Amino acid sequence: MADVIPFDQRDGSLWYDGRLVPWKDAKTHVLTHGLHYGSSVFEGQRIYGGTIYKLKEHTQRLFKSAETLGMTIPFTQDQINQACIEAAEVQNIKDGYLRPVAFRGSEMMAVSAQNTTIHVAIACWPWPSYFSPAEKLKGIRLDIARYRRPAADTAPVHAKAAGLYMICTICKHEAEAKGYADALMFDYRGYVAEATGANVFFVQEGVLHTPIPDCFLNGLTRQSVIAIAKARGVKVVERHIEPEEMKDFSECFLTGSAAEVTPVSEIGPYRFKPGTLTETLMNAYADEVRGAAKVSA
């Protein structure tokens, strides 16, 4: 990806600790607790036609994730909603991606970090599609990840916390090195869980099957797609799914704010053919995000 401008070298401004600052000046010290100990939570949401989809829900999740890590964000949710709007407006981005992040600062540098400042930054940039359009239509290929999603008594699994992505990056890199687009992770029990940054759905005889999000994020896109499917009379079954069951599913797709609805053609030894239901939900989700009411803070 040689043509990607490094993220610290972009033009414009971003929101940092209560004000807009020049993008290239939005720096933090190397002795930052969030960097050393993973005391960092973040969000990722898309803006479509000038409207941030599910803005309030993303901000709520950011606050919930921070609270789970014992971090008090020094702003109100309304202020963060407004800051997201400003971060998009200042870059003049109508279609793109927003990344709010909250992390512990540098006042203490050890496991204990009660007195650190909680910093918040929000940046917005253009991001057409997580996977390339050509890849999307034929379905992406997934490897099977070496690491598993941990149990709810092993890690704060419902927080969108930076630390939980350590295993995702390792698995995604391994998958990419083998020519796959992403990797499917099982959970600590061996059930199908999710991809490294998106939830997973399967189709069997017109019915949607998706894992119960009891040890990973119940994605906002997942919730949208379930609601869209149900509104169309499609039956949705949330249940534990054994890996071997994947041989009986005809279609498969991923959901996520970045991934949107992305058809899958292959997971390890299992094959799927992106079909009518996947395509219908992909288009219905595209309509839904563009028709969303503008959230004003």
Of 113 and 145, which CB lies nearer to ligand PMP in the complex structure? Answer: 145
Residue 142 to residue 96: CA distance in whole angstroms: 25
Closest distance to ligand PMP from the beta carbon of 232 (Å):
19
Selected binder of ligand PMP within 44, 150, 156, 243 (CB under 6 A): 44
Give the angle subtended at the CA of 99 by the CAs of 97 and 103, to the nearest 5°: 175
**Given the rule CB under 6 A, which of 16-24, 240-248, 251-259, 267-275 is the region that contacts ligand PMP?**
251-259
Question: Widest CA span of the chain, in angstroms?
Answer: 57
163: which 2 tokens?
């630390």
Consecutive H or E run containing 209: strand 207-210
Of 259 and 277, which CB lies nearer to ligand PMP in the complex structure? Answer: 259
Say whether residue 229 binds ligand PMP (CB under 6 A): no
Half-sphere exposure of 280 (CA within 13 A, CB side): 15
Residue number closest to ligand PMP, CB atom: 219
What stretches of 46-178 show up as alpha helix (H) in DSSP?
55-68, 77-90, 133-138, 166-177
Residues within window 93-112 making contact with ligand PMP, judged by CB under 6 A: none
Say whether residue 210 binds ligand PMP (CB under 6 A): no
Of 33 and 160, which CB lies nearer to ligand PMP in the complex structure? Answer: 160
Closest distance to ligand PMP from the beta carbon of 14 (Å):
20
* Nearest alpha-carbon partner for 275 in 226, 222, 212, 206: 206
Selected binder of ligand PMP within 62, 181, 220, 281 (CB under 6 A): 220
Selected binder of ligand PMP within 86, 194, 251, 288 (CB under 6 A): 194
Q: Please state, in angstroms and as integers, the Cα–Cα distance from residue 1 to each residue in 5, 179, 202, following that order.
A: 9, 15, 31
**Given the rule CB under 6 A, which of 85-93, 117-125, 193-201, 277-285 is the region that contacts ligand PMP?**
193-201
Selected binder of ligand PMP within 100, 219, 263, 274 (CB under 6 A): 219
- On whether the CB atoms of residues 266 and 253 are closer than 8 A, the answer is no
Selected binder of ligand PMP within 142, 198, 241, 282 (CB under 6 A): 198
Q: What is the dihedral of CA 18, 24, 30, 31, to 10 degrees?
A: -10
84: which 2 tokens?
């997201």
Residues within window 254-283 making contact with ligand PMP, judged by CB under 6 A: 255-257
65: which 2 tokens?
């994730």
203: which 2 tokens?
């189709």
Closest distance to ligand PMP from the beta carbon of 213 (Å):
8
Say whether residue 59 binds ligand PMP (CB under 6 A): no
- On whether the CB atoms of residues 204 and 165 are closer than 8 A, the answer is no
Say whether residue 187 binds ligand PMP (CB under 6 A): no
User: Would you tell me which residues interact with ligand PMP (CB under 6 A)?
Assistant: 44, 160, 194, 197-199, 216-217, 219-222, 255-257
